[in-house]
Amino acid sequence: MAMKEYETGPEPVGVPDVSVVIGAFEGMPYLIKCLESVEAQTLGAERMEILAINDGSTDGTGAYLDDFAAKSKVPMRVVHQANSGGPASPRNRGLELARGRFVFFLDADDYLGEEALERMVDMADRNKTDVVLGKIEGLGRSAPKSMFGRTEQRTDIFSSRIMYTLSAEKLFRRELLEKYSMRFDEDLYTGEDQQFTLEAYVRGAGVSVEADYVCLYIIRRDDGKHITQSGGYDLRFDSARALMDLIAELFPEGEKRDHVMIRPFVITLLPHFDHRMLKLPEATRRDKIALAKPLMEKYWTPGAARRLKVPERLRMHLVAEGKLEELQEVIAFIRDKKEPEIVRKGRENTPYLAYPYFGDESVGVPDEMYKVTVAETVGGKRVVAAKPFRPAPQKPKPTFARRVVRKLRRMLREMRNPARA
């Protein structure tokens, strides 16, 4: 398909506040609600533009975009291009065309709350932040929640949970994106937004979180055509590698890198080694461990390990060691909801969770893998890491000179007060 571009709708007046970029592949019928939600924004049509990229759709998406653009009160450009295979290319094309102070990347299957863009632009302008997260609600699918506990005027990845939502459906200041020539990696067919969003979090002048209003509704498609519902598992390992490499580029070795690195370990890698793994062919299980091995060798550190709960850390350790049989035993233990014994050791009364192979010298898993380093719940009881043992401070013995001075003072008091002596 040859690339075609149309510009329709009212002529833009000045610089729009927001460029809404919509990459659309086989977007019908979800695209209808998506576009209507943009046009209904309280921000106002004159403060927006829509950049819609039809990525080789065959279901009528292209025709609907053209029809909507011809009638829309929002300035709108439509680009038709051959299918690229992923979201990165259409988003990049939209970003190239964007004229707004801010860019919002909206998936064709999702839609906005009416006040979303107005609220987010106001937050960014008021706080001079470069990224704004709007509260998300899932319809037929789960949505990230932990970072939306409260509205944050200004935060970062070390003061909040924002690194656990790296989707691109956020408000970005376009000046930031152009300053660092930020684009989506077109070699990735899933997870390409993780790199983009994390880099914006780190390089930007702060992040705001709107938690008091649902800004975005994300939809589970019944046809399974959403990219996160399709594609081979090797694509997920590619995205994990890309994100880990970026984290290493942004942070030198140490506490900050370890803190951020737990995100790809827990969110991207660990789900490949849960109860679902036990149903896979053995060849697939071994292939997953082989794909994870170079990432573990490069980025698995004691600092990252101690930030994980025991069942997470133990599985990652066994993956790093390539111990498939032992890994399967631990996964089965967790699947069957068995409770590990809480074992306390040493002067500090340090708690350890006795998952399979704890203390088994023939397997050789270090006790550190079983040590409670972050708070966990076992059998309904909260188990916390032990505080380091510190012996009570000893009072220093007085020196000879000090003892003489004390004795002289005592004798002097007795001479002055013979009755008390």
Catalytic hit among 110, 130, 185, 193: 193
- Return the structure tokens found at 230: 């399709």
| Residue 107: active-site member | no
Report yes or no: 19 and 104 within 8 Å, Cβ to Cβ: yes
Q: Are 385 and 375 in contact (CB under 8 A)?
A: yes
Q: Which of these, 137, 138, 173, 24, lies nearest to 87 by C-alpha position?
A: 24
| E strands, 48-130, in order | 48-55, 76-81, 102-107, 111-112
Instruction: Decide if 163 contacts 201 (C-beta within 8 A).
Output: yes
For 8-46, letters b (16+ CB in 10 Å) and e give bbeebeeebbbbbbbbbbbbbebbeebbebbbebebebe
Burial of residue 128 (number of CB atoms within 10 Å: 0-12, 13-18, 19+)? exposed
| Pairing mode, strands 131-139 and 171-173 | antiparallel
CA–CA dist 296, 74 (Å, integer): 48
CA angle, residues 117, 121, 125, in degrees to nearest 5: 175
Active site residues: 193
